[in-house]
């Protein structure tokens, strides 16, 4: 009976153990639940909590945005990192899904070329990044730079 109990306890522990996502709860679809906050710290907490391969991609995206847009403002709202310019609003957001990361360009229809992912919003366009995708950092940087120069979303 003791062996059976220890096996059962081990199975319960395995089911309730949190994945390596820096202690954050993952919402349906694998998006980290991070408290709303302004600045770099909540964004870094979100990136650290992104599951699996997504955390590495999140760090790459964050570093590319910082290099491309000096003085970029950051926040986490609605469990998504947002990037913007002071006084102009938010130009880009990131969100995790089960099989991909969605990069939202809030004024994406004004970018050249227009990012490939359609949106229900007339202005927004998406770039979905899947595991193993090769990131075209030059194109991403061009979109980020263009987006940062447009008026953003007020959220």
Dig out the tokens for 92 from the structure: 């880009």
Q: What is the pLDDT of residues 36-59, one digit of tens each?
A: 999 999 999 999 999 999 999 999
pLDDT for the residue numbered 15: 33
pLDDT for the residue numbered 45: 96
Residues 6+ apart with CB under 8 A from 155: 77, 82, 89, 90
Cβ atoms of 123 and 106 within 8 Å: the answer is: yes
CATH assignment of 30-148?
Answer: 3.90.1150.200
Report the distance separating Cα 3 and Cα 128, nearest Å.
Answer: 47
Angle at 97 between CA 45 and CA 63, to 5 degrees: 45
Side-chain-facing half-sphere of 36: CA atoms under 13 Å: 3
Report the distance separating Cα 12 and Cα 7, nearest Å.
Answer: 9
pLDDT for the residue numbered 55: 96
Report the distance separating Cα 64 and Cα 140, nearest Å.
Answer: 8
pLDDT for the residue numbered 1: 47
pLDDT for the residue numbered 116: 95
Residues of the chain with pLDDT under 50: 1-20
Domain residue ranges in the chain: 30-148
pLDDT for the residue numbered 31: 85
According to DSSP, the β-strands at 100-105 and 125-130 are antiparallel
Cβ atoms of 62 and 47 within 8 Å: the answer is: yes
Cβ atoms of 116 and 40 within 8 Å: the answer is: no
pLDDT for the residue numbered 9: 38
């Amino acid at each position: 009976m003791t062996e059976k109990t220890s096996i059962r306890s081990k199975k319960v522990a395995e089911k309730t153990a949190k994945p390596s996502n820096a202690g954050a709860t993952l919402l349906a679809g694998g998006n980290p639940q991070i408290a709303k906050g302004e600045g770099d710290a909540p964004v870094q907490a979100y990136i650290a909590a992104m599951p699996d391969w997504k955390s590495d991609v999140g760090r790459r995206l964050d570093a590319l945005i910082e290099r491309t847009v000096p003085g970029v403002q950051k926040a986490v709202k609605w469990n998504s990192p947002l990037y913007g310019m002071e006084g102009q609003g938010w130009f880009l957001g990131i969100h995790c899904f089960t099989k991909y990361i969605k990069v939202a360009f809030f004024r994406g229809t004004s970018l050249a070329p227009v990012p490939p992912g359609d949106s229900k919003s007339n202005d927004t366009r998406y770039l979905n990044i899947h595991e193993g995708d090769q990131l075209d950092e030059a194109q991403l940087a061009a979109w980020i730079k263009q987006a940062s120069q447009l008026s953003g979303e007020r959220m």
